[in-house]
Amino acid sequence: MKLLSIEKYLKKKNELVADEPGWKLYRDACIFVMLGLTSLLMSVVNFFTHKGAFTWVTLGFAVLCGIDLLLLRKRGKAATVAIILFSTEVSVLFIYFIISGIPDGFSVLWTAMLPCFGLLMFGLRNGTLFSLFMFLILAFFFWIPFGQSLLQYRYSPTFMMRFPILYFAFFVVALLLERMRDAANQALKESREKYEYLCYHDVLTGLYNRFWLQSILDHPEKYPIKPAAIAILDIDNFKYINDNFGHPNGDIVIRDIGQAILTTLNNSGDLCRWGGDEFLILFHTDIDAEKVCKRIVDAVRALQFDFDGEQLTTTVSVGLVTAENGGASEINALIRQVDKNLYLAKDEGKNCTVSTALNA
């Protein structure tokens, strides 16, 4: 059972990484939870070490992190409000840390975390602006006489000189790491998009492939169109073309016929390479599929190929099944009948369409 739960967790995490908006919400939620719990822990420490007002400040920040988390869970505008509130709360908290210096000048050291969290949460541009804003605040309080006069804790001159520089060094390191992470994420995104394209598309024709159709069969609820008809098209006498003109030229015939079908289809359905010299069409609702198939037969018959000066024309046979109340869940039943109609089209002399209605 434990292995199963880990497997489910990893699957869920991978789904989150693929879902960029969901991943951002998950990331921001983790930051809210971590900082909220840290502040809560520090509140307990402050209480037992009798730090007075500082206890209520850290406890208040922990509560605010919890409120931000609740807003984040609502998503949409509420999530945006949560980010704005959080950035404001963090800025006010760290200004208080700088001014108060409680305990013993330690709290100001927490500002070293800001570049890391700022760049992670707000991205390169906004995170850089946020981190530089906090650097200017540090410089104001530690390097400007008027700012120094506002401090309630007596920092040493060496600390006030060095700490903003140390903060800036943390920022530069965090910026470099964030740029590297951003570049890696972009490369990963491009690789994922390329993988998904190759996974669902035929290399030769650029059309959808059989795996794409299988994904619809496995998850019909994810297919947005209600297929009203299915057709399978088979290139006539394709073995003769391969035997007499060679397989490379046979590939050209498959590719060009696929493009001719796609052009004639004109977005009235989804086309995939069913396998070998066969193509399958999922027609969309309210389309006269039989009329479109006849246009496709005419378009293929009009194609002319020139292989080393020898002219070639070919045709396709089409099996078509219509379903008035069709749906993605009925595709398997439609395909079984389509296969029978395709064989009938071949028996009737090829270069034609044989159509029936399912359950008619």
Place of tokens 């609740």: 70
Same domain, 275 and 160: no
Same domain, 12 and 84: yes
Q: Single out the catalytic residue among 234, 251, 277, 339.
A: 277
Phi, psi of 321 (to 5 degrees): -130, 130
Same domain, 225 and 175: no
pLDDT above 90 (res 68): yes
User: Residues 151-158: what's their mean pLDDT?
Assistant: 93
- Structural domain of residue 154, as residue ranges? 2-197
Q: What are the residues whose beta carbons fall under 8 Å from the beta carbon of 61, sequence distance 6 or more?
A: 35, 36, 39, 89, 93
* pLDDT tens sequence across 82-132: 999 999 999 999 999 999 988 888 888 888 888 988 898 888 899 999 999
pLDDT confidence bin for 25, thresholds 50/70/90: confident
Same domain, 233 and 154: no
Same domain, 20 and 127: yes
202 inside domain: no
Same domain, 232 and 164: no
How far apart (Å, rounded) are the C-alpha atoms in residues 66 and 39?
Answer: 11
pLDDT at site 153: 92
- Domain boundary pick from 197, 225, 241: 197
Same domain, 192 and 270: no
pLDDT at site 325: 63
DSSP per residue, 61-89: HHHHHHHHHHHHHT-HHHHHHHHHHHHHH
- Domain boundary pick from 174, 197, 220: 197
pLDDT at site 17: 52
pLDDT at site 1: 34
Number of structural domains found in the chain: 2
What type of residue sits at position 249? N
72 inside domain: yes
Q: What are the residues whose beta carbons fall under 8 Å from the beta carbon of 237, sequence distance 6 or more?
A: 314, 350
Same domain, 93 and 231: no
- The CATH number of residue 243's host domain is 3.30.70.270
How far apart (Å, rounded) are the C-alpha atoms in residues 297 and 304?
Answer: 14
pLDDT at site 4: 42
Same domain, 58 and 173: yes
Percentage of residues in the chain having pLDDT higher than 90: 57
Same domain, 178 and 254: no
The CB density around residue 201, as the number of other CB atoms within 10 Å, is 17
| Catalytic residue check, 243 | no
Same domain, 107 and 250: no
339 inside domain: yes
Same domain, 69 and 165: yes
Nearest to 67 by CA among 87, 85, 88: 85
How far apart (Å, rounded) are the C-alpha atoms in residues 165 and 172?
Answer: 11
* pLDDT tens sequence across 261-317: 999 999 889 999 998 999 999 988 778 899 999 999 999 999 999 998 899 999 999
- Domain boundary pick from 163, 197, 231: 197
Percentage of residues in the chain having pLDDT higher than 70: 91
